[in-house]
């Protein structure tokens, strides 16, 4: 349990004590893991003081104490400065003085911290080269005059807003968050730092943002509009690139999606590493990533989209164009759009907007559906459920108009006297996922095309089919053949 400052400090100490002295990456991963597993806001508020305490506890083991300070700089744990200065007062170590200088130059560092570092350095009778390095880190006006000095200067806060310097040290991400958000902030910091980002936390509320500190090339992660307001107060002409993290920071898919959004906001020359890849088959079928997958042909569009072939072909000329007119194949997003259009018909409603309009908003719909139910009305307006009330995504208008929920378009429904199959599970043992076999219906948990089984059944009969696929049970064969025949007999 990490419920007390001492317990959390010991966990941080263990992160360094239990790893190879020279394996800072391993220690860093352990610290990030601790931050990622914090459970309560109270625990999260103890991170700064506990880390400072851990630095003091590690003082007797200089290599590990150095590693702890390095990690503090990387994660922007400015609070560690207090413990670090305490260790420096007993013995001045140049490596630790550099780390202290980096932390002291943070906008969030306590007043007078930079002077404290200077006093210790001057009293230690250090070489001129090292004093120059400290100057670069602590003085906002000193100009670097070599490649190495450019990098050293970039390690200071403010970051000089020097594009060339920032280019040398990898992507930076600003993180906003007041004390109430401590849990989210530290979890986000751990995710960002694990992806290779240099984290810069906004100074606490009440401490103005230094205009030289903010580099508009890099995005701001924020949970409210306050961070943007504070930056605009310092830099009125700048519109920061803003990203709101997902509510669920424990889901690999949410985190991957969050990092993907960040990647789009970062300059091409400064990119994040992605976490271990999420299996495409594990992605929710209705997600921005899955929507771009698939290669459904006209017969599959007709069967799964609950439309006749002639309707599919007409829409292909108008609003739901195939991604390649030669091969006539559609991505999953087009199939979902067709389902939404047909679900309106199934409910006796008329869609008064071009399906292309819905299609263009599908990614937004998919992202919104993470936490709530989403619907589309006949005019193509998107509604998101909040507290049982449907609110228009863009206008904020509260209404519960004649709408089709996306869930309803995925479920089976009735249309024209016939039953439309569930989109993702058209049969009891048959499933659809756009990342598997280009989205073709398959026997569940296998890569066996239902259409191929139906073709074989039609041409060779059951005995040949069973001998060709000995791993299948009869119910699986029967179900897949039924679905496959549905595709083969797509109506004109």
Partner 1 sequence: MRLLFDQSFPAHIEQYSEHDFSFVRWSADQVSDVELLESAAAEGMRGVVFLGLQALADGTLVRDAKRLGLFVAATHDTEPMQAARAISTHLPALRRAVRPGVACHVFAAELRILKS
Residues within the interface to partner 1 (CB under 8 A) = 279-281, 293-295, 297, 323-324, 327, 329, 331, 433, 435-440, 442, 444-449, 451-452, 455-456, 459-460, 464, 467-471
Q: Are 238 and 232 a contacting pair, CB within 8 Å?
A: yes
Shortest distance (Å) from residue 385 CB to partner 1: 30
Shortest distance (Å) from residue 254 CB to partner 1: 19
Shortest distance (Å) from residue 329 CB to partner 1: 5
- Residue 22: is it exposed, middle or buried by C-beta count within 10 angstroms (0-12/13-18/19+)? exposed
Measured from the CB atom, the residue of 2 and 453 that comes closer to partner 1 is: 453
Full DSSP string of 408-462 = HHHS-EEETTEEEPPSS-SBTTEE--TTSGGG--EETTS--BHHHHHHHHHHH-H
Q: 490 to each of 6, 89, 258, 321, 350, how far by Cα in Å?
A: 68, 81, 40, 19, 24
Measured from the CB atom, the residue of 350 and 447 that comes closer to partner 1 is: 447
Measured from the CB atom, the residue of 408 and 430 that comes closer to partner 1 is: 430
Which phi and psi angles does 382 have, rounded to 5°? -95, 130
Measured from the CB atom, the residue of 279 and 310 that comes closer to partner 1 is: 279
Comparing CA positions, the residue from 468, 461, 351 lying closest to residue 409 is: 351
Measured from the CB atom, the residue of 352 and 460 that comes closer to partner 1 is: 460
Measured from the CB atom, the residue of 129 and 327 that comes closer to partner 1 is: 327
Measured from the CB atom, the residue of 203 and 439 that comes closer to partner 1 is: 439
Cα torsion for 120, 125, 129, 134, to the nearest 10°?
10
End-to-end C-alpha distance for the chain, whole angstroms:
65
Other Cβ atoms closer than 10 A to 235? 18
Q: Are 51 and 12 a contacting pair, CB within 8 Å?
A: yes
Shortest distance (Å) from residue 459 CB to partner 1: 6
Query: What is the β-pairing status of strands 418-420 and 413-415?
Result: antiparallel
Shortest distance (Å) from residue 436 CB to partner 1: 6
Shortest distance (Å) from residue 401 CB to partner 1: 36
Q: 199 forms bridges with which residues in the sheet?
A: 173
Shortest distance (Å) from residue 308 CB to partner 1: 21
Residue with token string 């999606």: 257
Distance from C-alpha of 51 to C-alpha of 99, rounded to nearest angstrom: 14
Shortest distance (Å) from residue 270 CB to partner 1: 23
Measured from the CB atom, the residue of 130 and 323 that comes closer to partner 1 is: 323
Distance from C-alpha of 356 to C-alpha of 120, rounded to nearest angstrom: 66
Measured from the CB atom, the residue of 133 and 302 that comes closer to partner 1 is: 302
Residue with token string 């378009």: 409
Shortest distance (Å) from residue 297 CB to partner 1: 7
């Amino acid at each position: 349990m990490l419920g007390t400052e001492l317990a959390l400090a010991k966990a941080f100490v263990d992160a360094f004590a239990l790893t190879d002295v020279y394996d800072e990456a391993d220690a860093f991963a352990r610290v990030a893991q601790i931050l990622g597993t914090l459970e309560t806001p109270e625990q999260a508020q103890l991170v700064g003081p506990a880390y400072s305490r851990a630095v003091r506890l590690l003082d007797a083991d200089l290599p590990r104490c150095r590693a702890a300070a390095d990690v503090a700089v990387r994660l922007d744990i400015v609070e560690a400065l207090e413990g670090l200065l305490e260790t420096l007062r007993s013995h001045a170590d140049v490596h630790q003085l550099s780390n202290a200088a980096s932390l002291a130059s943070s906008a969030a560092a306590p007043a007078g911290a930079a002077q404290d570092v200077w006093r210790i350095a001057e009293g230690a009778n250090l070489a001129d080269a090292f004093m120059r390095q400290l100057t670069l880190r602590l003085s906002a006006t000193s100009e670097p005059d070599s490649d190495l000095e450019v990098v050293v200067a970039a390690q200071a806060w403010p970051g000089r807003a020097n594009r060339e310097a920032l280019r040398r040290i990898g992507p930076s991400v600003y993180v906003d968050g007041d004390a109430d958000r401590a849990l989210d902030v530290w979890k986000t910091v751990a995710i960002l730092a694990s992806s290779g980002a240099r984290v810069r936390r906004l100074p606490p509320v009440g401490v103005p943002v230094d205009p030289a500190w903010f580099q508009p090339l890099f995005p701001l992660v924020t949970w409210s509009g306050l961070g943007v307001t504070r930056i605009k107060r310092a830099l009125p002409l700048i519109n920061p690139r803003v990203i709101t993290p997902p509510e669920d920071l424990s889901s690999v898919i949410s985190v991957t999606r969050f990092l993907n959004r960040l990647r789009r906001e970062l300059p091409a020359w400064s990119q994040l590493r992605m976490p271990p890849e999420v299996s495409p088959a594990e992605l929710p079928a209705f997600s921005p990533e899955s929507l771009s997958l698939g290669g459904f042909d006209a017969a599959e569009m007709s069967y799964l989209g609950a439309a006749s072939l002639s309707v599919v072909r007409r829409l292909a000329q108008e609003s739901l164009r195939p991604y390649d007119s030669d091969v006539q194949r559609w991505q999953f997003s087009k199939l979902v759009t067709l389902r939404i259009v047909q679900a309106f018909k199934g409910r006796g409603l008329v869609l008064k907007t071009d399906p292309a309009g819905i299609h263009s908003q599908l990614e937004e719909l998919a992202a919104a559906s993470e936490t709530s139910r989403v619907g589309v009305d006949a005019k193509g307006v998107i509604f998101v459920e909040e507290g049982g009330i449907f609110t228009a995504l863009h206008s904020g208008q509260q209404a519960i108009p004649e709408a089709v929920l996306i869930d309803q378009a995925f479920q089976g429904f009735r249309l024209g006297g016939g039953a439309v199959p569930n989109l993702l599970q058209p049969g009891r043992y048959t499933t659809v996922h756009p990342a598997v076999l280009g989205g073709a219906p398959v026997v569940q948990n296998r890569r066996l095309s239902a259409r191929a089984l139906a073709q074989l059944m039609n041409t060779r009969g059951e005995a040949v089919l069973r001998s060709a696929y000995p791993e299948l049970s009869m119910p699986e064969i029967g179900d897949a053949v039924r679905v496959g025949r549905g595709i083969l007999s797509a109506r004109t």
